[in-house]
Structure 1
Amino acid sequence: MRNPVSTQTLEAARAYRLQRVREQLLAADCAAILLYDPVNIRYATDTSNMQVWTLHNFARYALVFATGPVILFEFHNCEHLHEGNGLIDEIRHAVSWSYFGAGSRISEKAKVWAAEIVELLRQHAGEGARLAVDKADFEGLELLQAQGLTLVEGHSLMEEARRIKSAAELELMRWTIAVCEKGIQRMHDEQRPGMSENQLWAWLHYENIRHGGEWIETRLLASGPRTNPWMQESSERVMQQGEIVSFDTDLIGPYGYCADISRAWTVGHVAPTAEQRKLYALAFEQVHHNMDLLRPGISHREFVQRAWDIPQPYQHNRYCCVVHGVGLADEYPALAHKGADWDSSGYDGVIEENMVLCVESYIGERGGKEGIKLEQQVLITRDGCQPLSQYPWQDDWL
């Protein structure tokens, strides 16, 4: 497939995202935000370097000022990776003070790190600045506070920034979804009895990587009895003809955007049993009932209260949420089911135009033989919700 994304589209998405971050900083009266989460760094600066590795190794970070420069602190000798990126005003060498990089010198390195951050805040924002931080180890945070900085929880600011998508962002996301659907179709065509779950799942990775994608966040593909309960990741289990195979892509594709789609088939693409057909019809009904409710202005609470009622036999194995946001990865909000789930972890808010959401369903009886996982990625428009994925359903099962 040919990549349809133009340079102008990419530049527009970059500018929009940085502006969203700065708007959140100004609204929170923060001079800057210090970013360590590689997804947040990607959103604000559109830089990418060893994304999965830096999720657990604090080896690169960015300092984004509300009304000042964007400074990227990059891993050793990696400055050349970002040539031509006009968002970055300065690239510095990152100071690593995690145990992997610093060993017994953690305290020494953390002091060097903190002194540089404090000096930059004083230079570009003055004394007593409020600094948002998305995540960091406690020793460094204490050093910043000891220098008079007021620290603000910054991950929520980034989630708010990421919540509303621009037209350019949606173009990037649609390309990722097209790549993901290419991978789904490849899995569909290659799937046969006698192959392992891992062999089938590898085709999704193959199509993602060869089209410029990046990684897949989970390995949620299961067959037969491993589909109930849900959340078992792909294995060496050999799939047998007629069993259910279901999956959740969680794919981070080109430009770092996420395609989060779930479908279910039978192994060998044979006709489903009556029980498989029933499970599929219920999951399909849940997804589409809830899609029909989505519109700008509906509150989280109202949506959840009006959401599809899961029949009692399937309540115990229900999915962890009804819908969730998605962008560069799964994002705010995640809406809890009505009842006890809402009481323990629900929170209110408002669905807005140009949010992108994933509508979820898992239907599998407690102790049942199999289950069905379905999910659709949708855009909230002024008229309701618009499916972003065009991958077909099993209409002949309904």
Structure 2
Amino acid sequence: MFADGDLTGRTATVLYDVGRLRQAGNRSPKVSSFSILNRKIDPTRRGIALKPDGSIDDNDRVEIGPTDLAFAEWSALGLTPPNLDRMRRTRLDRIVQQLRQRDYIGVLCFDPLNIRYATDSSNMQIWIMHNTSRAVFVSADGHVILWDLRGCSQLSRHLPLINEIREGGAGFYYFVAGDEGEAMAKDFAGQIDELLRRFGGENRRLAVDKIEISGLRALDAFGIEVCNGMQLMEHARALKGIDEINAMRCSIATCEVAVAKMRDRLQPGIAETELWSLLHAENIARGGEWIETRLLTSGPRTNPWLQEAGPRRINTGDLVAFDTDVVGPYGMCADFSRTWYCGDGRPSDEQRRLHTIAYEHMMANIAMLKPGISFTELTERSHRLPAEFVAQRYGVMMHGIGLCDEYPAILYPEDFIPGAFDYVLEPGMTLCVESYIGTVGGHEGVKLEEQVLITENGVENLTKCPFDPALTGAA
């Protein structure tokens, strides 16, 4: 790494890249006619006021981020926001490490979450998920090129690790390319071919996470060896540095504030969608970004699980179950589940039994977690569900978490895939431990989930949201 100064880290200037390549004996890089060269924030601005995460204290800036309300709440909770510059460098270093480990010359990402991880650049994430118009290339020496929508380069100019921004070119899906998709994909693949020759010489091994069929064929035509980019990015993302962990703590805290407001509003007569809307509103008010699902159901709609919030009005005596799936501030996911009892009465014995089994199942599986244990061992040694609940078990027993659901998937014994995940837990991994308890044909079900961090000595539960005392017997 480089010392702080005008050329801090991988400073995004052509001057630096030309100098580095000349020292290495390489030819000067070609700069596309539609490139925008990105420079780091002007170092003369060092006296400017900064927010607690190191971003400029100017709400007129294009950069999205937490609101003043979020920072105030985190401060009151004693939470430390991430250092954004350090978090971004750590992420890029992890990608470079994975590239060198696999002897790939670079990785090409179209998945918006992988783009966010590599650059911390965000642009209409949900829209981009089904309109693939953005891409990022990261070379094995950490050079970063971002392709964005035309007219959107200003969204990422503040990010110092992006060396170059190109407008347009990465979108060759049918909606924008029509019947010229193959020609447009060929043009884009030509840019990638030039980058591989520039950075890799004879090395033609390029990791790609996901790409249109026409794009894959175009890369093949250039003789590029396309490798598994999603595997590379998932393994890079799996270990969290201190700043990612701090960002996750902040996102969870914001989600828990929103969930508390949901709890305050839960009363007979409120519709599932009305209750669910509070999670969205409170997340957005604090600088959160979006929500992956709409998993909140009540009464008979809690069984089977994975139904989504609808117009049903919640009745006295109903169970209300939800899974947050919140992409909060910094794009970090807060993913936990709770089941509540609606009303002032006493839950039935069956409701309390379901909750007790769900809680014990989840906590027993959390107790297994420690560095060095293999994913296979977790499946083999996991808490066994009572037979009546096996048929409607949740899709995974545990899963990684970061910008969203991530590698690994820890499966139930009934779903185990030999050889799919032959790895072990490491300090810095973050997981969500799941539990759904409901019988086939049963009236209701209980969904619980906790978000945890693997530490050097074991596991830390990151979730502080209380369970319903009426269902736990604490009331």
Q: What is the TM-score when the length of structure 2 is the normalising length?
A: 0.81
1:1-398 pair list within 5 angstroms: 1-3=69-71, 4=74, 9-95=83-169, 96-268=171-343, 270-338=345-413, 340-342=414-416, 347-398=421-472
Shift in alpha-carbon separation, 1:360–1:166, aligned structure 2, 3 A: same
SS in 1 for 2:115: helix
Unmatched 5+ stretches in structure 1 = none
Shift in alpha-carbon separation, 1:382–1:204, aligned structure 2, 3 A: same
Q: Shift of the alpha carbon at 1:343? A: 5.2
CA contact (8 A) 2:370 2:458 kept: yes
* One-letter code aligned to 2:274: Q
Shift in alpha-carbon separation, 1:360–1:271, aligned structure 2, 3 A: same
CA contact (8 A) 2:399 2:405 kept: yes
Deviations along 1:114-163, one digit per CA (max 9) or x if unpaired, are 11111122122224421100000122112112112111010010000000
Count of equivalent residues: 397
Name whichever of 274-283 and 263-272 sits farther off.
263-272
CA contact (8 A) 2:81 2:250 kept: no
Distance in 1 of aligned mates of 2:266 and 2:156: 40
Partner of 2:36: none
Q: Shift of the alpha carbon at 1:255? A: 0.7
CA contact (8 A) 1:360 1:376 kept: yes
Unmatched 5+ stretches in structure 2 = 1-68
Distance in 1 of aligned mates of 2:229 and 2:300: 42
CA contact (8 A) 1:71 1:92 kept: yes
Q: What is the TM-score when the length of structure 1 is the normalising length?
A: 0.96
Distance in 1 of aligned mates of 2:335 and 2:260: 15
* One-letter code aligned to 1:306: R
* One-letter code aligned to 2:288: G
Shift in alpha-carbon separation, 1:140–1:343, aligned structure 2, 3 A: closer
* One-letter code aligned to 1:277: R
Shift in alpha-carbon separation, 1:247–1:177, aligned structure 2, 3 A: same
Distance in 1 of aligned mates of 2:423 and 2:233: 16
Q: Shift of the alpha carbon at 1:377? A: 0.2
CA contact (8 A) 1:33 1:65 kept: yes
SS in 2 for 1:365: coil
CA contact (8 A) 1:128 1:148 kept: no
* One-letter code aligned to 1:10: L
Q: Shift of the alpha carbon at 1:8? A: 6.7
CA contact (8 A) 2:105 2:203 kept: no
Q: Shift of the alpha carbon at 1:9? A: 0.8
* One-letter code aligned to 1:112: D
Name whichever of 111-120 and 154-163 sits farther off.
111-120
Shift in alpha-carbon separation, 1:283–1:346, aligned structure 2, 3 A: farther
Q: Shift of the alpha carbon at 1:300? A: 1.4
Q: Shift of the alpha carbon at 1:83? A: 2.5
SS in 1 for 2:307: coil
Q: Percent identity between the aligned chains?
A: 46
Distance in 1 of aligned mates of 2:129 and 2:435: 29
Name whichever of 347-356 and 183-192 sits farther off.
347-356
Deviations along 1:3-60, one digit per CA (max 9) or x if unpaired, are 2587871111111000001110111110110000000000011100010111111111
Q: Shift of the alpha carbon at 1:244? A: 0.3
* One-letter code aligned to 2:237: R
Shift in alpha-carbon separation, 1:107–1:186, aligned structure 2, 3 A: same
